[in-house]
Amino acid sequence: MTAELAEAPSSDIDRLNRVFSDQKDAFEAERHRPIDQRKADLKKIEDMVKARAEDFAKAIDADFSRRSHSETAVAETGFTIATAKHTRQHLTQWATTKRKPVPMTLVPGKAYVRREPKGVVGIIAPWNYPMQLALAPLVAALGAGCRVMIKPSEFTPRTGELLLETLSGLFSEDHVAVIEGGPDVAAAFSSLPFDHLFYTGSTHVGRIVAKAAAENLTPVTLELGGKSPTVVAPDFNLDEAAKTIAWGKFLNAGQTCVAPDYAMVPRGSEASFGEAIMREANRMWPNVAENDDYTAIVSERHHTRLGEMVEEARNSGATVLQADFDATRAGNTRLFPPTVVINPSPDLQLMREEIFGPVLPVLGHDGLTQAAKHINQGERPLALYIHSKSPTTARSFLAKTLSGGAAVNVPMLHLSVEDLPFGGVGHSGQGAYHGEYGFLTFTHERAVFEAPVWHPSRLIQPPYGKMFEFFKKLQGG
């Protein structure tokens, strides 16, 4: 059970192995945490998040060098509280053993599915919503009755510290543990023989995590990224579309896995749509240099990458629209103003990689069939958005494409519906969570058949005779 690797200090690896082993022992000692206690665990998280909401907002603000407290309130604390409450309210029903009908040949036996906790599970979280994306999977895992180790992102160390402080105040380390550290610790973490590994982050690292998990035959959930398109049908008013698309794109400065990555609008309207996006960006986040509601980029490296992408597009001759912005006056080198790039060429980095920043490429389409064809040529996205006045048109567009999730006439809100599964498909991920789907991710559905002391199946044991022939007939054979 020793994690191989790495350049991580041996004390970190020692702790990792010790906590893992303690959690395994604790799980063996209590395989079925009573539902009431699980509900109490969730209530503790809910109450802690409410009580420490401002501390989390400050920590995330400091990690980003500026993160809108309002966006943190809705997308991190509010989201986590709602998830914990929803899970608590439905837990009894989700955890109940499910009876299943038995075929005539197996009467009078009973069949049912026991929903068992998988055991000790790992959660690897990214930096972009560093609280929500650590705590929402934790809620699902605790609801399922698991023991949980969480590895927060090294890019948001203050939030990681606060997660450690708050969770260690609520749970013993053999129940919930926060393991801090960089990629070396993360690599050692993902090589532990967990009973389930839940990873949120880039597709590149997701592949590494999946390989490490495969060594142990550990089941994985991969919540990855990709280029999520947003398409405007010819019947939809472009100014109206710009209102929701600009919001979805520039919230958290575009550092949202389900943010619209690029837009496709009827050909010929790219420039006017780009201007409408900039108008909406300026209306929602005026004076980005001094606007505390406009979030900064998480690191200098990520900021430089965005700058290089836009520069490459500009040098290629594409039109770039950018909000007025004076970096010196802002006193923050990690702010990146809302930006639109009209018709960038497909070979640019901007169109090859997930952007993950406040830059919106706008492309033209020649109708929804061509737009679908364009999308289907790329990897399957995490989310897809279609704006149309006609539900029939929107649904027929959905039928022509495939994505992890989708929303009509507004980006991102599918992830706020607790009872919808949230996850990717293909390169944008595998598995899903939220609501009962999250509970099931960390649950083993164990099939049980119970026969009475004497069961007619004995009649079909060899030597095969008349009863066997009768059973065959009953079976349809």
The smaller minimum CB distance to ligand NAD, of residues 83 and 128, is found at: 128
CA dihedral sign, ordered 131, 133, 134, 137? positive
Single out the residue of 83, 87, 153, 430 in contact with ligand NAD (rule: CB under 6 A): 153
Taking phi first (over 0 means left), then psi (-120 to 50 degrees means alpha), and beta for anything else, what does residue 131 get? alpha
With beta carbons less than 8 A apart as the criterion, state whether 227 and 350 touch: no
List the x/- string, 41-70, binding to ligand NAD by CB under 6 A: ------------------------------
Asked if 179 is part of the footprint of ligand NAD (rule: CB under 6 A), the reply reads no
φ, ψ (nearest 5 deg) of residue 97: -60, 135
Question: Shortest gap between Cβ of 143 and ligand NAD (angstroms)?
Answer: 18
Instruction: Decide whether 87 or 159 has the Cβ nearer to ligand NAD.
Output: 159
Position among 72, 83, 87, 128 found at the interface with ligand NAD (CB under 6 A): 128
Query: Could you tell me the smallest distance in angstroms from the CB atom of residue 367 to ligand NAD?
Result: 29
In the bound state with ligand NAD, the residue whose beta carbon lies nearer, of 341 and 382, is 382
Instruction: Tell me whether strands 110-117 and 443-450 are parallel, antiparallel or unpaired.
Output: antiparallel
| Min dist. Cβ of residue 57 to ligand NAD (A) | 19
Amino acid in position 134 = A
Residues ≥6 apart with Cβ < 8 Å to 420: 405, 414, 434, 435
Q: How far apart are CA 425 and CA 229, in angstroms?
A: 15
| Residues involved in catalysis | 223, 257
The packing angle between helices 79-95 and 35-51, to 10°, is: 170
Distance CA 15, CA 167 (A): 17
| One of 200, 230, 401, 441 touching ligand NAD (CB under 6 A) | 200
Tell me the residue nearest to ligand NAD as measured from the CB.
225
- Total of residues contacting ligand NAD (CB under 6 A): 28
SS (H, E, C) 254-290: HCCCCCCCEEEEECCCHHHHHHHHHHHHHHHCCCCCC
Stretch that binds ligand NAD, among 65-73, 218-226, 308-316, 370-378 (CB under 6 A): 218-226
Is the peptide bond between 108 and the residue preceding it cis, with omega within 30 degrees of 0? yes
Please select the residue that binds ligand NAD; options are 16, 53, 59, 382, rule is CB under 6 A: 382
Please pick, from the candidates 91, 205, 310, 368, the single residue that binds ligand NAD as defined by CB under 6 A. Answer: 205
432 belongs to the binding site for ligand NAD (CB under 6 A): no
Q: Per rule CB under 6 A, is residue 318 in the interface with ligand NAD?
A: no
Question: Please, which residue, 225 or 361, has the CB nearer to ligand NAD?
Answer: 225
Site string for ligand NAD, 238-267 (x = CB under 6 A): -------------------x----------
CA neighbor of 77 nearest in space, from 131, 39, 31, 28: 131
Question: What is the H or E stretch that residue 151 is in?
Answer: strand 147-151
Minimum gap (Å) between residue 298 Cβ and ligand NAD = 8
Q: Which is nearer to ligand NAD, 145 or 429 (CB)?
A: 429
Residues 6+ apart with CB under 8 A from 406: 383, 384, 385, 386, 398, 414
DSSP SS3 for 226: coil
| Dihedral angle over CA of 64, 68, 73, 79, nearest 10 | -60
Which one of 20, 64, 79, 127 is in contact with ligand NAD (CB under 6 A)? 127
Under DSSP, is residue 334 helix (H, G, I), strand (E, B) or coil? coil
Which lies closer to ligand NAD via its Cβ, residue 122 or residue 266? 122
In the list 137, 201, 248, 435, the residue contacting ligand NAD (rule: CB under 6 A) is 201
Q: Does 143 bind ligand NAD (CB under 6 A)?
A: no
Q: How far apart are CA 52 and CA 63, in angstroms?
A: 17
Of 135-143, 184-192, 281-289, 468-476, the segment contacting ligand NAD by CB under 6 A is 184-192
Cβ count near 371 (within 10 Å): 24
What are the DSSP E strand ranges found in 297-408?
A: 319-322, 339-342, 359-365, 383-387, 405-408
Q: Min. distance of Cβ 215 from ligand NAD in angstroms?
A: 13
**Please, which residue, 145 or 423, has the CB nearer to ligand NAD?**
423
124 binds ligand NAD (CB under 6 A): yes
Sign of CA dihedral 34, 132, 189, 66: negative
208 binds ligand NAD (CB under 6 A): yes
| Structure tokens, 213 | 């998990």
Q: Which is nearer to ligand NAD, 295 or 393 (CB)?
A: 295
- Stretch 219-238 residues interacting with ligand NAD (CB under 6 A): 223-225
**C-alpha span between 174 and 233 (Å, rounded):** 53
Q: Which is nearer to ligand NAD, 145 or 226 (CB)?
A: 226
Q: Which stretch binds ligand NAD (CB under 6 A): 200-208, 263-271, 394-402, 455-463?
A: 200-208
Q: Give the footprint of ligand NAD on residues 321-380 (CB under 6 A).
A: 354, 356
What residues line the site for ligand NAD (CB under 6 A)?
A: 124-128, 133, 151, 153-154, 183, 186-187, 190, 200-202, 205, 208-209, 223-225, 257, 354, 356, 382, 424, 429
